[in-house]
Structure 1
């Protein structure tokens, strides 16, 4: 039963799965992923008997996981409605849905309505980019596609079954999540990457991660190491990252970036960092 990410998310690890798997610990207790994003590695591990804790700071993303867990049929019905309406007038409908989070009552909507909108926009916005402005409003242009397919039924149902087994879903800061970590647990961090250049995109949410976030994560990774946890981090191959983790193993690997408006910019050099 192969499960694929239901969203295209910045920093997705689908292209790096094989390299990550080569370096994962052979045996561990619980699995924690404080920056779940699109969930590619988590989905790839679903046949194991471990307990899982997945988390993200984006409440919109975490609500999507919760909606799929609680009632996938209800969600798919709403997605079918979006597909139908998009086919009637794609451009007008896209901007109508994109503007919904500006409504004063938007936060009162249930997680199924919000998740259906998130998936619809993800599949119909330019290059599948999730981006919000300083006010927290989604602001990506339309991708100009008139025909869309928002989901695969079996994929959503299989994901729902997995989320209802041995998975806890949290919406918190990454440090808070790691309070649950114990000796022998495996923690995989896929944070917003250190910037290669100033115009590199890192605005996953309205609150940027930045250099201070990288330093805070490094401090936490070292505390987890002292605790006896297995820690793995992915990031760009930058001087800052090499300095922060100079006492860890740092492997440099090439990877394709799926979200980049310039095709030549879709090949990059990343690091897989681990403490064991």
Structure 2
């Protein structure tokens, strides 16, 4: 299989396990991704139409420009890559801009992503991008990946929106396929500081499960990814859980051993069967 790559570096991106993940994703119907991130799943899934959303409006701004005018975005970004701009000066310019949805901001977001530490996307409580500079001798400019991503956005029926998962999942209807790859919960306190200024914690993960369960009751199919631990196993206990191992892209303690993850699947048939069993008890 010819696996396509995103133009973004993204911690937890599904590029490393996409072949395995695709085996759980139906390809007919409308594909909904409330945590689109780097878009590694989107560019490798064939569907009739797509709803791609993320709470990170800077990210969605890049996708809007790739869909509306990729050439001008690529040229603007290439100019930054060819310059000798200081990382912290550009990061400061990015954070101080009063207009976040411009061409310039989209180009700076891509530049920061490729030059920061391990492609991490993180914001402080004030909403400022605060990832430090990475250790790069030569930074790769992902021109072909930008072109490929733009082509997929332009050649397919795609709705792009910056919003939270609740708003997105309420749009799900019968025969839609929802894939969720939220910030992962840790195994101990169930907390994780997400990729935006608002953390994604145990309570929000519970809310996500409820939203997905309700969508599946309306006829959708839900697939989730998360870390494999007792907390996530308990939250998604109505799902059919598959345990997998995924290569790590970031490890603060230097541990690069494969991480244990889950892929959970919930279908309308599973809910109906469960309800029928309850009635016969």
Per the normalisation by structure 2, the TM-score is 0.87
Deviation at 1:256, TM superposition (A): 0.8
Q: How has the CA–CA distance of structure 1 residues 2 and 218 changed in structure 2, closer, same or farther, with 3 Å as cutoff?
A: closer
Q: Using the alignment, how far apart are the partners of 1:240 and 1:146 within structure 2?
A: 40
Deviation at 1:2, TM superposition (A): 5.7
Q: Using the alignment, how far apart are the partners of 2:74 and 2:263 within structure 1?
A: 36
8 Å Cα contact 1:55-1:169 kept in structure 2: yes
Q: Using the alignment, how far apart are the partners of 2:107 and 2:210 within structure 1?
A: 37
1:124 aligns with 2:135: no
Provide the secondary structure at the position in 1 that maps to 2:145: helix
Deviation at 1:39, TM superposition (A): 0.9
Structure 1 counterpart of 2:263:
272
Q: Using the alignment, how far apart are the partners of 1:186 and 1:199 within structure 2?
A: 27
Deviation at 1:110, TM superposition (A): 4.8
Structure 2 counterpart of 1:51:
49
8 Å Cα contact 2:187-2:231 kept in structure 1: no
Q: Which of 138, 153, 156 is 1:147 aligned to?
A: 138
Per the normalisation by structure 1, the TM-score is 0.89
Cα RMSD over matched residues? Answer: 2.0
Q: How has the CA–CA distance of structure 1 residues 139 and 187 changed in structure 2, closer, same or farther, with 3 Å as cutoff?
A: same
Structure 2 counterpart of 1:260:
251
Question: What are the ranges of 5 or more consecutive residues in structure 1 without an aligned counterpart?
Answer: none
1:156 aligns with 2:146: yes
Q: Which has the higher contact order (CA 8 A, sep 6+)?
A: 1
Q: Which of 68, 74, 93 is 1:100 aligned to?
A: 93
The 10-residue stretch of structure 1 (57-66 or 15-24) with the greater mean CA deviation from structure 2: 15-24
Q: Which of 159, 162, 171 is 2:162 aligned to?
A: 171
1:6 aligns with 2:7: yes
Deviation at 1:197, TM superposition (A): 4.6
Structure 2 counterpart of 1:19:
20
The 10-residue stretch of structure 1 (211-220 or 196-205) with the greater mean CA deviation from structure 2: 196-205
Q: Using the alignment, how far apart are the partners of 1:275 and 1:96 within structure 2?
A: 47
Q: How has the CA–CA distance of structure 1 residues 115 and 262 changed in structure 2, closer, same or farther, with 3 Å as cutoff?
A: farther
Alignment of 1:238-253 (within 5 A): 238-253=229-244
8 Å Cα contact 1:127-1:261 kept in structure 2: no
Question: What are the ranges of 5 or more consecutive residues in structure 2 without an aligned counterpart?
Answer: 268-281
Q: Using the alignment, how far apart are the partners of 1:233 and 1:199 within structure 2?
A: 17
8 Å Cα contact 1:127-1:143 kept in structure 2: yes
Q: How has the CA–CA distance of structure 1 residues 81 and 198 changed in structure 2, closer, same or farther, with 3 Å as cutoff?
A: farther
Deviation at 1:98, TM superposition (A): 1.1
Structure 2 counterpart of 1:205:
196
Provide the secondary structure at the position in 2 that maps to 1:40: coil
